[in-house]
Amino acid sequence: MLNVLFICSGNICRSPMAEAVFADLVAQAGLNDAIAVDSVGTEHYHVGEPPCPGTQRIFKTHNLSYSGRSRQITPSDLHTFDYLVALDTRNQAHVRSMLAREGIEKPIYLLLEFSDGTETLDVPDPYYVGNFEVVYDLVFAGCTGLLQNIVNTHPNFA
C-alpha cells in the first residue's frame, strides 16, 4: 500500500480538497487497494473541525465524498506516508524542518510540481481570498498529475 498525505495550514480548505479529489481519482483508476490518502495541517488552530463551508460547497458541486476532520501533522506521519505533498512553499518548509528534526530523509513535494501549465507552485489559500473554484481547478490538475506520476513510477499499479 502506498500512502499519500496532503498538507496545508489548517486542514480545512486546500488539503481536504486535495484528499477528496485524489481519493476520487484513485477510485476511478481502480487503485483503492493500492493507494491510501489522508490530509493534515501544519497548524493546530482548526483541529477537530470539518472542512470550511467553501470547501464543502466544492465537494457538493463536484460530487466528492469526504467525512474527515482537521488534524495536525505528527512525527509519525513523516514515517508512515510515502508521499508528503504540500499545497504551498510555506507548508513545505515547515514539513522539511520537521523531517530534519526527526532525522528523516524524504522528499516533500509541492502538489503543483505535478501539474502541467500552471504558473505558480503555490495553491492559494481560499480561506482568505475565497476563490474556491480556482483552487479546485489547481488541485484537480495537481492531483491528476500526481496520480499519473505514481502510476508511471510504480508500474505494478498500471
Q: Exactly one of 8, 13, 52, 143 is catalytic; which is it?
A: 8
Q: Exactly one of 13, 77, 125, 143 is catalytic; which is it?
A: 125
* Residue 8 a catalytic site member: yes
* Residue 96 a catalytic site member: no
Instruction: Answer whether 29's CB lies under 8 Å from 14's CB.
Output: no
Three cell numbers at 32?
Answer: 483503492
* Residue 14 a catalytic site member: yes
Q: Exactly one of 13, 14, 24, 88 is catalytic; which is it?
A: 14
Q: Cα separations (Å) of 58 from 45, 67, 76, 118, 136? A: 22, 14, 30, 20, 7
Q: Which residues contact 142 (CB under 8 A, 6 or more apart)?
A: 18, 111, 112, 113, 114, 115, 118, 123
Burial class (CB in 10 A: 0-12, 13-18, 19+), 76: exposed
Catalytic residues: 8, 14, 125
